Amino acid sequence: MAFESGLSGKIAIVTGGSRGIGRAVVELLASQGAIVNFFYQGNAQAANEVVETVRAAGGQAVAIQVDVTSSAECAAAVEAIGERFERIDILVNNAGIVRDNLMAAMEDDEINLVLNTNVGGVFNVTRPVIPYMMSQRAGRIVNLSSVAGNKAGRGQANYAASKGAIDALTRALAVELAPRKILVNAVAPGVIETEMSQQVRDLADDQVKSRILLKRYGQAQEVANAVGFLVSSMAEYVTGQVLYVDGGFKMD
């Protein structure tokens, strides 16, 4: 039996699609024939580059500037996508930030911005998407968690709390939405070579690598592959799961 993604013509939303893991997800879904609407916060040049790359490869992508911490902006953007395409099949909640600091020194901004983006952003985008998926009696939601939700490093209390919340939210939504045939899962990357992890990799390099079973960092594409699986027709019996893509980091 051939592998079949079943993604052709699906309407997808990916948050944080302008760089890193989100960009790899946008490109993967578009390469399988999905029409991908992606949100970015401010880096319009990076977003346009993604659109151009997807179009040059024969795919369809639309970049929309939406700050996921604004529930009004998210609701308006989701509504516009719903009106234009009359359905929403896939949501990948990928946008996320880090603001590492030791807890005693952590500023209000470092706590609030991380929780408002990594957790609040998922509520803000998912809530207006759900009615579409409910009426379709179908849908896939994938949330980007992190190995840090389970096994955090020093100075990551804010980020670890946000990703632990994502794991819990994923399971709760899987329960709530299963009767409408909406599948909800999370992907938890380890250390992936993107701008987000640059500082950690610069500071720790070999010491961190030695704790990863596969002795190397991951690539954005390797995380996108897991997301692609979970939104594809290959994963119709998978819900409420957190899939680690971490080279065995959590096992250490």
Q: Which residues are known to be catalytic?
A: 159
Q: Which residues contact 180 (CB under 8 A, 6 or more apart)?
A: 133, 134, 137, 139
110 binds ligand NDP (CB under 6 A): no
Question: Is residue 149 within the footprint of ligand NDP (CB under 6 A)?
Answer: no
Q: Is 41 in the site for ligand NDP (CB under 6 A)?
A: yes
Closer residue to ligand NDP in complex, CB, 132/217: 217
Give the span between the Cα atoms of 180 and 210, in whole angstroms: 44
CB of 19 to ligand NDP, least distance (A): 4
Nearer to ligand NDP by Cβ, of 20 and 59: the residue is 20
Which residue bears the tokens 């603001």?
99
Pick the closest to residue 239 from 151, 180, 159 (CA basis).
Answer: 180
Question: Can you say how many angstroms the Cα of residue 197 is from the centroid of all Cα atoms in its chain?
Answer: 15
- DSSP letter at 104 equals G
Place of tokens 């390469």: 31
Nearer to ligand NDP, 68 or 243 (CB): 68
By C-beta, is 45 or 56 nearer to ligand NDP?
A: 45
Phi, psi of 190 (to 5 degrees): -90, -130
Minimum distance from residue 95 beta carbon to ligand NDP (Å): 4
**Taking CB under 6 A as the criterion, which residues in 79-98 touch ligand NDP?**
94-97
Enumerate binding residues for ligand NDP (CB under 6 A).
15-22, 39-43, 46, 66-69, 94-97, 117, 144, 146, 189, 191-192, 194-197
